[in-house]
Structure 1
């Protein structure tokens, strides 16, 4: 069984003159909330075999928080996946987010990794939400992720199943 944990980056700096979108960092509240969300995911035993992150600073920082907090299982790796940067058309079967999920599916199903594996994808909206919608067969725009929000999908032979969709407030209330 393959599970994909989609994690949107935390609250980041506003875009301002002289600051490229690629270089927008998490704010202090964004770091704190992201850390609290990841700690709750760990308490829910949602550890991951690997983490793939967008190359943008705010996503890389969110992924690093996840690694430092212990979301990554021993031996797992955190790596940059350029296809998770904003603007990829997640609704198209050839899109990079889609391709990454299909590579993971192939690796788990055919290479006989673990019977159960979970992988985190750290990125942006609307791309992550559109990827989730594509995987479960829903229209684009129907699965929004708040900043530091998550979606957990279980992939089987057919369409994926949406197991969790939670905003940070919901995660932290538990």
Structure 2
């Protein structure tokens, strides 16, 4: 079984302040709250074999904070986690990773993707009803074999206010 943690990036600068969405950084409040969330996750004993992050600046900064707190020693980027990314493309990567023996994975990305991906994994389809707050965390248990679509178990849905 693989424990998958979907983490939304922290509070980021407003879209109007930057010419491209991909370069928007975390605000100072976003960095502070994300660090507090990461410290609580560490205190709860979470450890990830790998943190996989969207390459967009705000997500990468969030992933860097998770790594700096000690939640994982490994961090990689994936375009599958961008707002235009696809769960189906990511699933191909995940099956290879799972076959190498990974058991705990954090994905750092964006909304509405993370909520929709969770719905697809747990219920087999996205309905747009699950929202991940900024710096919020969802935990999903993925099956050991076969497709995880509609066969996964939601075990954690935590808005950041419960981790601050």
TM-score w.r.t. the length of structure 1 is: 0.84
1:46-67 Cα distance to aligned partner (Å, 9 max, x none): 1100011111100000000011
In the alignment, what sits opposite 1:34?
34
Gapped regions of structure 2 (runs ≥ 5): none
Gapped regions of structure 1 (runs ≥ 5): 89-94
| Greater mean alpha carbon deviation, residues 23-32 or residues 148-157 | 148-157
Once superposed, which parts of structure 1, at least 4 consecutive aligned residues long, lie more than 2 Å away?
97-108
Instruction: Specify which of 105, 114, 118 is matched with residue 132 of structure 1.
Output: 118
Q: Alpha carbon RMSD of aligned pairs, Å?
A: 1.7
Deviation at 1:83, TM superposition (A): 1.1
Structure with greater proportional strand content: 1
Instruction: Specify which of 141, 153, 158 is matched with residue 128 of structure 2.
Output: 141
Deviation at 1:77, TM superposition (A): 1.8
| Change beyond 3 A, Cα 1:27–1:135 | same
Q: Distance in 2 between matches of 1:143 and 1:102?
A: 24
TM-score w.r.t. the length of structure 2 is: 0.88
Q: Report if aligned partners of 1:149, 1:166 keep a CA contact under 8 Å in 2.
A: yes
| Change beyond 3 A, Cα 1:19–1:167 | same
